Amino acid sequence: MIRTSRAHRLRSSATGTALASRLRRSAPLALPVGWGAVAVAWKFGCPLARQPGLPMRIATSIVFLTVGTGLVLGVRRQLRREPARVRAVAEATQRVLLRPPPARLDGLALAAGQLSATRDASVGGDLYEAVATPFGVRIVVGDVRGHGLAALGAVVAVLGSFREAAHDEPELGGVLRRLERALQRHLRERARAEHPAGGGGEPEHPVAEEFVTLLLLEVRADGRLAVLDCGHPAPYRIGAGVERLPVGEPLPPLGVLPLPAVLVPYTAARLLPGETLVLHTDGAEEARDRRGRFFGLEAALARSAGRPPGTVVRQTHEALLHHTGGRLDDDVALLVVRNDRVRVPAQPAEPGLRRPRPAPSTHC
């Protein structure tokens, strides 16, 4: 009995909340609708309004014109509020999914940012994350095929898996396999949801062709890098100049072909103290202006050399928007990492601990 009463109260509360939400949404139309009801009642219920003559016609026209104007303004206000509500939801979603990385992480300075190709949208098909683990700082940057809300499910699957696997897997290859399994589960579940009567075969629809390009990187305590590249653009390293970071032999994007049986990260590169690494999605290099000229990402990064990571992200975004006139064809994500760890020089021997001189040799 108590459970039934509690369930009844919960249903009543939910119904009341939904009703209050509907009333708030319809509030801008209440005044015009009230005016309309008064105008109709005046027209058909008031004997004075049915009298012939030009003054009564003018008065009737003014009343109905006022009502029509009020209705138009009320609907327009409602339509303006809806995009603002959608943008607020999108911004909240972005803060949860693509949360800003901490300004400092295990001796590294970080900053990240994204530009969406979808008008009035804050989320898209790009993803990034950086976490400190016992194995080093692990970073992922990826690009889901497509952009906008349609790619959001794959972003959720890959990022959620990375945030768990980065702390659990001692090897970088193990992290990548976890990401692949998470993406495959997402695609299977989406295929079943969109084609529930598929007959058990492989569905022939866009989900079957969805894939993710991805760069998985590990910055170790001594600055050595471990990299696994799944069809993603190689990052830039800013030191004495700007150069492409070597990433080894690329793997296929996730979702296109199965990963090889053995995954060996590329470990011949380093990020020395004071150097900066710029990870990005392909939208940064494939952006074009009105004449079809590609954006010069390397030149833009050279102009930002020596600046903090946040400044590099901001200046690169400004240069991108200026080059394209504010119209992007693809989402753009940037993640900038600077090695602020101090290189400890070799310490000289203390004065009291001099190395003993070898004894002079004697000859007979």
| pLDDT by position in tens, the chain (length 364) | 444 455 455 455 545 554 555 555 555 556 556 666 666 666 566 665 555 665 666 666 676 667 667 666 666 666 666 555 555 555 555 556 678 889 999 999 999 998 877 655 555 678 999 999 999 999 999 998 865 566 788 888 999 999 999 999 999 999 999 999 999 999 888 878 777 765 555 545 445 567 899 999 999 999 999 999 999 999 999 999 999 999 999 999 998 899 999 999 999 999 999 999 999 999 999 999 999 999 999 999 999 999 999 999 999 999 999 999 988 888 899 999 999 997 655 555 545 444 455 555 444 3
Residue 233's pLDDT is: 95
d(CA 80, CA 259): 48
Tell me the C-alpha distance between 105 and 236, whole Å.
20
| Total residue count of the chain as it appears in this document | 364
Question: What pLDDT score does 228 carry?
Answer: 97
**Model pLDDT, residue 326:** 87
pLDDT of residue 206: 46
CB neighbour list of residue 132: distance below 8 Å, 6 or more residues apart: 105, 106
Helix, strand, or coil (residue 278):
strand
What pLDDT score does 362 carry?
A: 46
Half-sphere exposure of 176 (CA within 13 A, CB side): 30
- Between CA 214 and CA 230 the distance in angstroms is 5
Q: What confidence score (pLDDT) does residue 63 get?
A: 65
Strand pairing class (136-144; 332-339): unpaired
Side-chain half-sphere CA neighbours of 329 within 13 A: 14
Q: What is the pLDDT of residue 334?
A: 95
- What pLDDT does 329 receive? 83
In this prediction, residue 151 carries a pLDDT of: 74
Taking the whole predicted model, whether its pTM rises above 0.75 is answered as no
List the structure tokens of 129.
Answer: 């994350």
Tokens of 343: 């290189």
